[in-house]
Amino acid sequence: MPFWEKIVNLSPVATFINIVDVLLVWFVVYQLIKVIKGTKAVQLLKGIFAIVIARIVTDIFDLTTLGWMIDQVLNWGILAVIIIFQPELRRALEQLGRGRLFARTMMDEEEERKRILEALSKSVNYMAKRRIGALISIEKETGLSEYIETGTPLNSNLTSELLINIFIPNAPLHDGAVILQRNRIAAAGCYLPLSESPFISKELGTRHRAAIGLSEVSDAITIIVSEETGAISIATDGNLNRGLSIEEFEERLRHLWFGDTSNQESTSKWKWGVKKNG
């Protein structure tokens, strides 16, 4: 019987079971990808994918010797994976025993958001009080790889201590921008495009022009701490919110980055240094 006829002849109960089966497989695969995301296991998956593609090619072109070699790699690969990734597998089994293998709950995400916001708030507040100039760009949907490549790669955890040390005057990386990707510092000392808008106030310096320039070509959020006044500003979508208090800064950043509008208020009436009506 053809395959399509078997599908048509399935009973409603069998159809429902098959759908649930597929959804469960999808859910498990999706959660496993989330677990290994950002770990060295990702590189392993890329290697396995390349080997599988090579094996398919050997079948197409009838490359017997190469196919036999790849078969040996695949046959012994599981044992190699267990040996190489023993620590990761043990940790995953421990999480499974605690019922947390797939538990990336809303509480976990909120805790991570809180940690990131606290790190940025603490560092920005510290630098603003001491008038330490800073330029921090946060990648959203638009990739910032071309600007990351102009700086020094860090790929480090986001902490207030590291951010402060980067921007300390005369430090090797204090010139340029720090670019954040998700919860990590991707690079420091990066060069951003300067805005050429004639409407920008003459009192604004290179940091503010660079922040506005990046916001004109991407959806990135850029935080600026003025070296002259210690004022805190945020640039996004071609707009510049100036003179924010630390509380306004936290609310504005939470809204722009995570879409939280629960405590969002009008934090500033400034655009390119020119006061808006209202």
Of these ranges, 21-30, 139-148, 244-253, the one predicted with the greatest mean pLDDT is 244-253
147/143 Cα distance (integer angstroms): 9
Q: What is the pLDDT of residue 264?
A: 44
Evaluate whether 235 touches 208 at the Cβ level (below 8 Å): yes
pLDDT tens digit string along 178-204? 999 988 999 999 999 999 888 888 888
The fraction of the chain above a pLDDT of 70, given in percent, is 78
* pLDDT of 212 strictly over 60: yes
Evaluate whether 81 touches 43 at the Cβ level (below 8 Å): no
pLDDT tens digit string along 10-65? 678 888 888 898 999 888 887 777 666 655 666 677 788 888 899 899 989 888 89
pTM above 0.75, yes or no: no
Give the domains, in start order, of the chain with CATH numbers: 3-97 (no CATH), 106-275 (3.40.1700.10)
* pLDDT of 105 strictly over 80: no
Q: Which residues contact 102 (CB under 8 A, 6 or more apart)?
A: 31, 34, 35
pLDDT grade, residue 222 (50/70/90)? very high
* pLDDT of 265 strictly over 50: no
Q: Is 187 helix (H, G, I), strand (E, B) or coil?
A: strand
Instruction: Determine which helix (DSSP H) or strand (DSSP E) holds 19, and give its type and residue range.
Output: helix 12-36
Q: Which residues contact 123 (CB under 8 A, 6 or more apart)?
A: 134, 160, 161, 163, 164
